[in-house]
Amino acid sequence: MDSKVLLVIALTLPLCAQVKISQPGKEKISVEIDGKPFTDFYIGAESAKPYLHPLRAADGKVVTRGFPMVTDIPGEAHDHPHHRGLWFTHGDVNGYDFWANEESQTSTGKGKGRVVVERVDKFATGKKSGTVSASFAWKIPSGETLLLESRKMTFYSDPQLRTIDFDITLSPQQEVRFGDTKEGMFAMRLAAALEEEQPKDIAEPKRTGKMVNAQNKSSEKNVWGKRSEWVDYSGKIDGAAVGVAVFDHPSNPRYPTYWHARAYGLLATNIFGLHDFERDPSRDASLTIRPGQPLRFRYRVIIHPGDVNSGGIRDAYESWIAMR
């Protein structure tokens, strides 16, 4: 084949790809799906942890809260500054807080930990999917590394859905104890319109959200602190119905997970918060692991039109676990 033709094909392939991954700088990795921005993965040195922000539906609507990254969005509550987009940390790792670990926050326990990027192992653009693989160190103030995290995120192209698969492995570098606290672990903070309750001091936007779990229980009262295979959180943004579902994989530790899901838009899985969730101080969900005893977590996030029923979330979960 003519070399000029090969060159044209090579230059055209990235343009035809439906999931485009790029790294415009050291601060972030950008994900574009079907020619439209989807999210950015922030891994810069100024971040206390890696996080995805913002997350968008297929029609471009932003489904995650802007604060604290963006401070001028009308109607957003400016609470919990550690609730950055979508993230994965825990509030008690050998007594150090990797959850509420912003510089502006007061230290708890022994102090605050940070999740620091070690390297971006690989990112790949593709027609149907794209991937980002990166390695992180969970460090305490002394500079010691408690855990090494390897994370692979797979992003999929679809005209109606935005789907991300997460495959995360935590490898202890010394004896590590995950303490019993509700403050964790795989989490996101949703846009104001998707919250369940209307704050008394905020008139707009109207809160339209409703969380539903796999047992068909709804509202924070019946979902928070309960075990379930998945939770869907849906409502209306600018009049259009949209939802976000998080799936817990059957191979995950202590499946099915407990849910730290709040009416104010927090949607989190956490297997280490039993004494909080059961409201019983005698319960202890702590877990100690040692070098050579990694923990692997797999999750799927689906941003979909409609609610839990019209979005087909129950069937989507069954299809996902059938692929394992």
**For the segment 280-308, what is each residue's pLDDT rounded down to a tens digit?**
999 999 999 999 999 999 999 999 999 99
pLDDT attached to residue 107: 80
- Evaluate if residue 9 carries a pLDDT over 50: no
Whole-number Å distance between alpha carbons of 212 and 223: 7
Q: CA separation (Å) from 13 to 16, 20, 21, 127, 306?
A: 5, 11, 13, 9, 34
- Regarding beta strands 36-42 and 28-33, do their DSSP bridges make them parallel or antiparallel, or are they unpaired? antiparallel
CATH number, domain containing residue 150 = 2.70.98
pLDDT tens for 38-73 read: 999 999 999 999 999 999 999 999 999 999 999 999
- pLDDT-derived band at 16 (thresholds 50, 70, 90) equals low
Whole-number Å distance between alpha carbons of 104 and 251: 37
pLDDT tens for 84-120 read: 999 999 999 999 999 999 999 988 789 999 999 999 9
pTM exceeding 0.85: yes
pLDDT tens for 197-250 read: 999 889 899 999 999 999 999 999 999 999 999 999 999 999 999 999 999 999
- Evaluate if residue 153 carries a pLDDT over 60: yes
pLDDT attached to residue 109: 85
The sign of the dihedral angle between the CA atoms of 63, 66, 72, 78 is positive
- Provide the 8-state DSSP code for 206: P
Range of the domain at 263: 3-322
- Regarding beta strands 230-237 and 295-305, do their DSSP bridges make them parallel or antiparallel, or are they unpaired? unpaired
| Structural domains counted in the chain | 1
- Evaluate if residue 1 carries a pLDDT over 80: no
- Evaluate if residue 278 carries a pLDDT over 50: yes
